[in-house]
């Protein structure tokens, strides 16, 4: 970038008309880009709302187009590298100016192609629901442009998934998206990372939501394309879960964990069992469960409630984890629910989470002074907040 600025400054001094020509080109490209930015600041050549229905109908015919776009991207990237190398060898300002103009044009074409590739691949995965076994080959680390392509694809598939949910006819998903849009109105979207595209996830999970950074990830290698939206909506629920956010912020801001550890380990019995200390311990435990096991219960309960409607709408395929839970029961009608049936369903989901949740009490939770309290929270179904 510094070299490019230096080139432009030199041109302005030596060759004013070339400088004006370059600036005009840059302004034109920036104006086009600005008019087609999405929420992440990524150029989408065709606005998603206008092309969604067309791509929905033709998503399964995009495989050849995806390969062609990837080849176009690779060749354009290599051409830009050749032009940059050639510019370094030129001595005449006019020659440098001409090559710089070509680089600007091809860089714009590169971004357009990159977005078209990401958009087509996103629709193919999400709407056709196919597991693309060779998808990682598009992001092979041996290609120097792979990191850029992968970041762009992560952004585009994130926005595409949200747009699919916004078009859903399922009322609970519509409500979730209203909460999401209200939360992020005028704000940058969270960081979203896709693993399994030539790299490995740092944790042994299909997907995840980091409580501290509030970033999300999905491992494409583990889940494939057919159930991407099922796991994605689970993490989006975490993102708008007010109880989860409150628990994380309160524990961190008031340093409750440090206080609880000090109280449990250092206070004598009389001090520890005092009402003041017990209230503090109870608050810390409740918030700790709200950001861990209870948060997973709330998100999984949402998954379970929209599961069958999502199958009907074609958002995902059969998910073994949910099918196992429904093996001996049927999800109640949540549009006109019978209270007793809903309560039984929620109890079943909670017991299922207790059995399958990856929440594991830290060794500190197993302290004799905390055992009875922890057991209470492990067996007590929380109230959902959505």
pTM above 0.85, yes or no: no
User: What are the structure tokens assigned to 252, written together?
Assistant: 């961190």
- The per-residue b/e assignment along 311-320, b for 16 or more CB within 10 angstroms, e otherwise, is eebebbeebe
State which residues form the domain around 100.
2-129
Asked if residue 209 belongs to a domain, the reply is no
Q: How many CB atoms lie within 10 A of CB 97?
A: 23
Domain tally for the chain? 2
Out of 109, 129, 149, a domain closes at 129
Helix residue ranges, H only, 36-138: 48-58, 63-89, 93-128
Asked if residue 162 belongs to a domain, the reply is no
Same domain, 121 and 252: no
Asked if residue 276 belongs to a domain, the reply is yes
Distance, in Å, from the CA atom of 48 to the CA atom of 125, rounded to the nearest integer, reads 16
* Helix/strand/coil for 40: coil
Asked if residue 174 belongs to a domain, the reply is no
Asked if residue 350 belongs to a domain, the reply is yes
Same domain, 251 and 123: no
Out of 129, 152, 183, a domain closes at 129
Strand segments, DSSP code E, in the chain are 192-195, 207-209, 216-219
CA 34, 39, 40, 46 dihedral sign is negative
Which residues share a beta bridge with 376? none
Distance, in Å, from the CA atom of 374 to the CA atom of 289, rounded to the nearest integer, reads 9
Out of 99, 129, 159, a domain closes at 129
Which residues share a beta bridge with 207? 218
Per-residue pLDDT of the chain (386 residues; tens, 9 = 90+): 444 434 333 333 333 434 444 444 444 444 334 333 444 443 333 334 444 555 555 667 777 788 899 999 999 999 999 999 999 999 899 999 999 999 999 999 999 999 999 988 888 888 776 555 567 788 888 888 888 999 999 999 999 999 999 999 999 999 999 999 999 988 888 899 888 887 777 778 889 888 888 899 998 888 877 789 999 999 999 999 999 999 999 988 888 888 887 888 777 887 878 888 888 888 888 888 888 889 999 999 999 999 999 998 889 888 887 887 776 555 555 554 455 667 788 888 888 887 766 555 555 666 777 878 888 888 888 876 55
Asked if residue 61 belongs to a domain, the reply is yes
Asked if residue 360 belongs to a domain, the reply is yes
Asked if residue 119 belongs to a domain, the reply is yes
Same domain, 375 and 244: yes
pLDDT of residue 325: 74
Distance, in Å, from the CA atom of 33 to the CA atom of 45, rounded to the nearest integer, reads 9
- The per-residue b/e assignment along 163-200, b for 16 or more CB within 10 angstroms, e otherwise, is bbbbbbebebbeebbebbeeeeeeeebbebbbbbbbbe
C-alpha 371 chain-centroid distance: 36
pLDDT of residue 156: 92
């Amino acid at each position: 970038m510094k070299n490019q600025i230096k080139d432009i400054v030199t041109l302005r001094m030596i060759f004013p008309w070339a400088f004006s020509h370059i600036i005009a080109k840059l302004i034109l490209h920036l104006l086009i880009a600005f008019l087609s930015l999405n929420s992440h600041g990524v150029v989408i050549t065709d606005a998603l709302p206008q092309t969604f229905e067309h791509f929905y109908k033709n998503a399964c015919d995009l495989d050849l187009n995806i390969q062609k776009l990837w080849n176009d991207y690779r060749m354009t990237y290599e051409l830009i590298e050749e032009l940059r190398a050639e510019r370094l060898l030129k001595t005449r300002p006019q020659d440098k100016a001409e090559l710089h103009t070509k680089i600007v044009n091809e860089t714009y074409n590169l971004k357009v192609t990159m977005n078209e590739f990401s958009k087509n691949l996103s629709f193919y995965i999400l709407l056709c629901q196919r597991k693309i076994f060779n998808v990682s080959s598009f992001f092979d680390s041996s290609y120097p442009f792979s990191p850029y392509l992968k970041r762009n694809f992560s952004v585009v598939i994130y926005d595409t998934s949200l747009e699919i949910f916004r078009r859903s006819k399922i009322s609970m998903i519509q409500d979730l998206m209203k909460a999401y849009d209200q939360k992020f109105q005028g704000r940058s979207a969270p960081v979203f990372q896709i693993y399994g595209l030539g790299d490995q996830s740092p944790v042994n999970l299909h997907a995840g939501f980091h409580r501290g950074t509030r970033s999300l990830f999905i491992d494409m290698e583990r889940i494939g394309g057919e159930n991407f939206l099922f796991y994605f909506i689970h993490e989006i629920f975490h993102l708008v879960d007010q109880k989860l956010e409150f628990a994380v912020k309160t524990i961190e801001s008031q340093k409750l964990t440090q206080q609880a550890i000090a109280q449990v380990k250092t206070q004598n019995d009389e001090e520890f069992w005092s009402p003041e200390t017990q209230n503090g311990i109870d608050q810390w435990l409740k918030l700790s469960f709200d950001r861990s096991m209870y948060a997973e219960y709330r998100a999984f309960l949402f998954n379970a409630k929209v599961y069958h409607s999502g199958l009907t709408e074609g958002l995902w395929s059969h998910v073994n984890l949910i099918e196992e839970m429904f093996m001996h029961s049927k999800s109640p009608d949540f549009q006109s629910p019978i209270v007793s049936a809903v309560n039984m369903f929620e109890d079943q989901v909670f017991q299922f989470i207790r059995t399958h949740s990856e929440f594991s009490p830290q060794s500190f939770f197993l302290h004799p002074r905390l055992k009875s309290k922890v057991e209470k929270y492990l067996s007590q179904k929380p109230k959902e907040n959505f």
